[in-house]
Structure 1
């Protein structure tokens, strides 16, 4: 699962990394939470001058996917993640997996190791970032949801896969990372069907990320400064399977929201 992430690189560097047009001036964000606007990138119909490749368009979407058939968002679970193993068949994501695959830029993500309740040990937050630094692109899905009054809102979810060995001691899921050389194939929804991109939605290599324990400042969405990524010392936890966070969790009412 990915329930919080950050995008702290300069906006120009992010757009250059993704090769996209559109949103090109956005602030550093250290604690991005569900229902907030996030940057997504998808292929457009236009062509780059002198190229046969379509342009990539960057725009804002609500982090919290809404299928087109949803009548009232208040009566629908908050879908911030899509399981890569089932997205192509699941009713909520099937159409987006075929027609609206996107990239979601990030500097890293936060995850919590949650010991059994009976242990009395508090959950420990981790800041998970690329060992080499820079920006990564998470695989994502998007859908434009239309309300009864005709208004529209773009919505998105981050795709997840089984955690690799480096992350498994913290949690059993992690975001899917799309490498730059695979951007075009992932975004090409015209010729690349879901079965053609199955090889892109596997866990990233073991040494790609590093996980740093951080304080519980990240738990509160109103904490938005770099101090939430400061490493802290933690007591050794006994090895054991990470617990999956319950699904359908309601968003913090203090969060900035697009609804």
Structure 2
């Protein structure tokens, strides 16, 4: 985000903020959790960058608990957009545009949308000003055996379930209550639930627990919405909770547990 800050500084600050969010989700700590992260940081600019890295997940304590969103938190999130402004125009979805800018745009939109909901009484226009909603969603082929027509270009990236599920995992901050859009619709549409189940299982078998936790969040969200799934996500979530992986993985698992209605995080 800034050439004068190392990636390690941002990563460390993001881990600290994820831990704060996890503690707040468990009912530990005081109010203004996000603002406190910036105020107590030795590197406030890296702390603001961390707000953007953690994104919508920083709102988890307020979405799942009774805590009131503090005005100072709203100011800190808004400041992160002022210091690190998104592009003026939203990036085109792949393959017309680059995947990473598009993913960042979606995650920024999720953060801005929740900020508008909590800070301005549900004024969606505030969120659109900070980060307009991008177009498109990750594309999953209706069948693994489907073929492009002879007179078309090669299929777009992310059409097979392996790559598609990983791409959805990269958008896991959208798998949280209070958000809806094309990405959520893509997750609900057959054969997406099966592809998510396959992707989560594959990641666990490969011991890629961070990716598995991100994909499982979509399964947990779908279960909370009453969507039929080809597997029970609860054992997967419990399995992932047994492994260390830092605050980011722990926060993903905690959010999945709350989505599934489990009592503890």
TM more than 0.5: no
Structure with the higher helix share, 1 or 2: 2
Higher relative contact order (CA 8 A, sep 6+): 1
TM-score for the superposition, normalised by structure 2: 0.28
TM-score for the superposition, normalised by structure 1: 0.29
Structure with the higher strand share, 1 or 2: 1
